[in-house]
Amino acid sequence: MTALLVTALLVAGSAQAETRIGFVNLGRVSAEAPQAEAARAKLEEEFAPRDREMAAEQSDIRDLEERLNRDGAVMSEEEQRRLQRDVVSRKRELRRAQDEFREDFNMRRNEELGRLQRQIFDTISAVAEQRDYDLVVSDGVVYASDQVDITDLVLEWMRQDFETGD
């Protein structure tokens, strides 16, 4: 379908003035745009404290399990049962916290990804309009020569937007 559309535009364009076609590698823009790195850093900053808390709790649980294995034989039955219940309870709470963390992180990551995708498409549209492109394609393209690849141009615009705070 895409090839048919491009062919139709090329045929129609050849009857008129020169048709300008551009290609953007969205994967590369998503990976290399400074906005993508800023989003990753923002998520890291937001979720790092909870991640550290869970790692500390995991370490505490491991310490309790080691104590139980090491000293269990010399503990009273009551103390041993209490420690086992504590370990089981803390593991359950940790699993719950990890599940919540994963859900929260995925939700925020999807929000940031959506924001980044909107920025990328807005930038591509701005580049296409300002540079008089008739068609800009991305996904589903089997081959695009360097002559029509405007990925570097889009990335440059994204960098400029990032530096100016837009």
Tokens of 21: 């076609």
pLDDT per residue, tens digit, the chain (166 aa), is: 555 455 555 555 454 568 899 999 999 999 999 999 999 999 999 999 999 999 999 999 999 999 999 998 898 999 999 999 999 999 999 999 999 999 999 999 999 999 999 999 999 999 999 999 999 998 877 777 788 889 999 999 999 999 988 6
**Residue pointed to by tokens 């803390």:** 90
The pLDDT, as a whole number, for residue 147 is 84
The pLDDT, as a whole number, for residue 4 is 45
Please, what is the Cα angle at 162 between 160 and 166, to 5 degrees?
95
The pLDDT, as a whole number, for residue 140 is 78
The pLDDT, as a whole number, for residue 126 is 93
Cα-trace Rg, the chain:
27
The pLDDT, as a whole number, for residue 107 is 98
pTM of this structure:
0.73
The pLDDT, as a whole number, for residue 18 is 86
DSSP string, 103-144: HHHHHHHHHHHHHHHHHHHHHHHHHHHHTT-SEEE-TT-S--
In order of their start, the domains of the chain are 14-164 (3.30.910.20)
The pLDDT, as a whole number, for residue 84 is 95
The pLDDT, as a whole number, for residue 3 is 52
Distances (CA, A) of 37 to 25, 71, 101, 109, 113: 17, 48, 21, 12, 11
Helix, strand and coil in the chain, % to nearest 5: 80, 5, 15
- In the three-class reduction of DSSP (H, G, I as helix; E, B as strand; rest coil), residue 162 is classed as helix
**Residue pointed to by tokens 């990925």:** 151
